[in-house]
Chain A
Amino acid sequence: MKKILKTVAAVLVAVTLIIVLKNQYGSIFAGNTYGMPTAIEQGEIDHLFIGSSMFRQGMDIDALEENLDGNVYILSYNGNQPVFMAKELEYMLERGLKVKNLYIDFYAYTLTAVPWISDTKMFLDTDLSFKIDAWKTMSQYNDVSLSDFYEMFVTANNEQILMYPINNAIVSSQFRNGGSLLTLNGQTEEYLDTLDLGVRDGLFESQLAGYDRIVELAEEYDINLLFIETPKYEKLLNDTREGSYSDLLAEMVSWAETKNAPYLLAETFDFDHTDGANFQDLIHLSGQGRKTYCKMLAEYISE
C-alpha cells in the first residue's frame, strides 16, 4: 500500500508542477500566426483589431492589408467580451506592444452575457497573472465550480500542447497576422429567414465597464480608437422588439455618445444586408461578405 500511495503522491506533485509551468509558460506553444503572443512579438502594430468571432469571420486580412498603410493584426477569440478585450489590450501593452490605431468589436450580444471566457485558447496565450485576474472577474459574476476551475487551469489546451508540432502546423496555416484565411460560403435568404436569435435581457454594466477601460487605455497610451460594428443580416436589423439586437445597439450607441467614444456602424456603408451570399448566419459574414465589407472599411479608415 505504501508503494502505491507513494506513486500517487509523486504523480500529484509532478502534475501540480506541470500545471504551474503550463499556466505560466504555456504561451510558447501558442500558434505563431495568431493570438496574443504573436501580436506582442510584432512590437509595433499600426492597425490592431480586437474582437470576437464577428472579427474572425468579418475581417479580411487580405483586403485590410491591401488597403491600409502599415501593418495589420487581428486578435479574435470566440465569444470575446469587452471586459476581457480590455484585459487583453492591457496585457499586450504592458508587455511592450505599441499600437497606433485600435479597432474594437462593437457587438451588442457579447455585452448581454455574464463575464465568462468561452474560448480557452485565451488561457494558452497568456501567463498566470492574466489567468488569475480573468478567473477573479469570472468568479465575481458567476457561481464558479471546482470543475470550472479545473477545466480552465488544468485540462484546457493540453491536447494542443501535447500535439503542438501537428496542431500548430494545421492551425497556423489557417491564419495570417491573426486573420482567418478560411473563406466560408454564404447562405440563401430562405435559410437565413428561418433563423432567430431571440431577445436578451439588456447590457451588463461590467461589460460596458470593459469598454470604458479600453477608452482609458487608448487615452493613456495615445492610441486612436474606433469601435466597429460588423454588418448583420437584415432580419436581425429589422427586429425592433425590446432586447433585440437593434434595441441593444441603440443602447450601445447612447453609451458611446455619452463617453465621446468614436464608433462606426455598419449602416455607414453601402453594404447589401439583404444578400444571403454575404452571410454565414444572421451575425457572421461569409468570405464574400467580409471581402466586400473590409474593402469599404479600409477605404473609410484611410480617408
Chain B
Amino acid sequence: MTGTMSTLCFFAVILAVYYMIPVRFRWGLLLAASAVFYASADWKMLFLIGGSIAISYYAGLKMQQAESEKQKKRWMMGCIILLVVILMFFKYFGFFAEAVNNLLGKVGLGSNSGVLQLAMPLGISYYTFKIISYLADIYKEKIEAEKHFGYYALYVSFFPQILCGPIERADHFIPQIKYGCKYEEKLASEGLERIIIGLFKKLAVADRLSLYVGTIFDAPTAYPGLATIMAVFFYSIQIYCDFSGYSDMAIGMAQMLGIRTRENFAYPYFSRSIKEFWTRWHISLSGWLKDYIYIPLGGNRKGKVRKNLNTLATFLVSGIWHGSSLSFVFWGGLHGLWNMISTPKKKDESVWKQILQTLITFCGVTFTWIFFRAKDLTTAVVMIKHAILGFGLSVDQITTSLLPFTGDNTCAAYFLIICLLILFLAVFEWRRTKGKGTSYGWIAAMLAITLLLGQFGSSSFLYGQY
C-alpha cells in the first residue's frame, strides 16, 4: 500500500470516514489507519515501531518525573542509544556483514553465496529522528512529556509522514491532535492543491525520468558521455520531484485532515549558494541536524575552526544517515566542505549575477548527486571520467543518448515532452518564489498533464529507502 496511488486511495477512504465521526474520536481513527498502513508494508515491523513508541513514551514520562539532571540525562541517553543501535543495525547490517565476509574471504572462510540482507523497516529513519527530537526537547524542557499514549503514538506513526517525512516536531504536532482536528475549508482546499502539485511532480516528472536515469546509472560506460551528463541532470530533477512531490502530498493530506505540518522544500534549485540551498532542501532534516547535532556540538559559538568542524561533522552525519555506502559519506563530506567555504550572497546583486550564482549552485549540487546515486564511489568516479572523455555531439551520439528513453523511434518525442514538463515546473516554481499565488489554471493544467502523461504503474518513493 506504499505506492503513490495506493497511498492516495487509502487516504481517500480514511478522509471520508474521518469527517463522519466526532472530533474526539478522530485521533483514534488516524492511529488505527497508521497501524494498518504500516502493517500493509510489513506487519512484523509493527512490533518494532510499537516497541520504539512504547519505550520512548515511558522514557519521556520518566524524564519528566526525574528528580535530578543526571537521572533525566540517563533516561534520555539510554533510550536514544537504544533507538540509534536499532537504526544502525537495520541500516548498516548489510554493509558490515559484507565487509566481514570479504575479510573472511581473504583467509578462505568467506561465504560464496553472499551475506544476509535485512529488509529496512518502513520509515525507521524518520520515526527514529522524530522520537530523538521528542526526547531531546523534553530534556531541554522545551516541551513536557506527553501523558496520552495515543496522541504520542500518532505523532510518531502518522501515516502521511511515515514514508519520507517531513520529520515533524512534537511541540507542533501533538497540540493540534490534542485540541481536535476540525475541518478548515481554506486549509483543506490548499491541501488538495498540494496533493495535485505533488502528483504532478511525482508521476509526470520523477517517474517519467526514472527509467532513463536507471538505465544510464546502471551501465554508464555503455552510452555516450552526453547520456551520462543528461542522466546526472535528470537525476537531479528526478530526486527533487520525487521527494518534494511526496512531501507535497504528505503535507496536503495532513492539511485535508485539518493538521498543519512543517514545510520540507522551498524551491531549493533557485538557491544562489549552497548555504541557501540547505535552508530550502529537506528542511525538516536540515533543521533536525542543526538543532540536535550542529548546535549541541557547539555550533558557531566556539570559534571559526570549531564552527567549520561542526559543519563538516553535521554533513557527514547527514551522509551516513542516507546510507552505509562510502559514496554517501563522500557526498556528505563534499557538501560539508562546500558549506565551509561558501559565503552568503548579497540581496542587491544584478539579475545576471543572481542567475549565474543560481546556475553554479544548481550545477554544483547536481555534480554531488553523482556520488549519491551511483552504486559506489568507484562507479561515481568512472561516470565523471566517462562524461568528460566520452563526450561528443555527433548525430550518432545524440541519437544513442536519446534512445534509452523508450528504446525505439519515439524517444525524441518522449525527450521533448520531459523537457517541456521540466520547463513548466520551473516557471511554476519561479512564479511562487516571486510570491505569486497558485491560480486554478495552473492546478488544472497540472492535473490534466498528470492524468494524460503520468506514469501510473506501481512506484515507490526514492527517499523511502533512507
Residues of chain A whose beta carbon lies under 8 Å from any beta carbon of chain B: 1, 3-5, 7-8, 10-12, 14-15, 18-19, 78, 147, 150-151, 154-155, 158-160, 162-163, 166-167, 170-171, 174
Inter-subunit contact B440/A155 (CB<8 Å): no
Inter-subunit contact B440/A159 (CB<8 Å): no
Inter-subunit contact A1/B189 (CB<8 Å): yes
Given A4-B443, A7-B444, decide whether A147 and B413 contact each other with a Cβ distance below 8 A: no
Inter-subunit contact B456/A163 (CB<8 Å): no
Inter-subunit contact B412/A174 (CB<8 Å): no
User: Nearest residue in A to B457 (C-beta to C-beta)?
Assistant: A147
Interface string of B423-448 (1 = CB under 8 A from A): 00000000000000000100110011
Inter-subunit contact B443/A167 (CB<8 Å): no
Per DSSP, are chain A's interface residues mostly helix, strand or loop, or mixed?
helix
What's the minimum C-beta distance from A53 to chain B, rounded to whole angstroms?
A: 10
Inter-subunit contact B189/A3 (CB<8 Å): yes
The residue from B192, B410, B416, B454 contacting A8, defined by CB atoms under 8 A apart: B192
User: Nearest residue in A to B399 (C-beta to C-beta)?
Assistant: A170
What's the minimum C-beta distance from B121 to chain A, rounded to whole angstroms?
A: 27
- B193 in the interface, Cβ–Cβ < 8 Å? yes
The residue from A7, A78, A158, A171 contacting B452, defined by CB atoms under 8 A apart: A158
Inter-subunit contact A11/B413 (CB<8 Å): no
A-B contact count (CB 8 A): 73
Inter-subunit contact B456/A1 (CB<8 Å): no
- B453 in the interface, Cβ–Cβ < 8 Å? yes
- B458 in the interface, Cβ–Cβ < 8 Å? yes
- B42 in the interface, Cβ–Cβ < 8 Å? no
Measured CA separation A154–B440 after assembly (Å): 23
Per DSSP, are chain B's interface residues mostly helix, strand or loop, or mixed?
helix
Inter-subunit contact A7/B440 (CB<8 Å): yes
Residues of A with C-beta under 8 A to B443: 4, 7
Inter-subunit contact A147/B451 (CB<8 Å): no
Inter-subunit contact B440/A166 (CB<8 Å): no
Residues of chain B whose beta carbon lies under 8 Å from any beta carbon of chain A: 185, 188-189, 192-193, 196, 408-410, 412-414, 416-417, 440, 443-444, 447-448, 451-458
The residue from B188, B413, B454 contacting A166, defined by CB atoms under 8 A apart: B413
Given A10-B444, A11-B444, A160-B410, decide whether A154 and B451 contact each other with a Cβ distance below 8 A: yes
Inter-subunit contact A171/B410 (CB<8 Å): yes
Measured CA separation A171–B411 after assembly (Å): 10
What's the minimum C-beta distance from B255 to chain A, rounded to whole angstroms?
A: 11
Measured CA separation A5–B416 after assembly (Å): 31
What's the minimum C-beta distance from B464 to chain A, rounded to whole angstroms?
A: 20
Residues of A with C-beta under 8 A to B454: 155
The CB with the most chain B CB atoms within 10 A, among A1, A5, A154, A162, is that of: A1
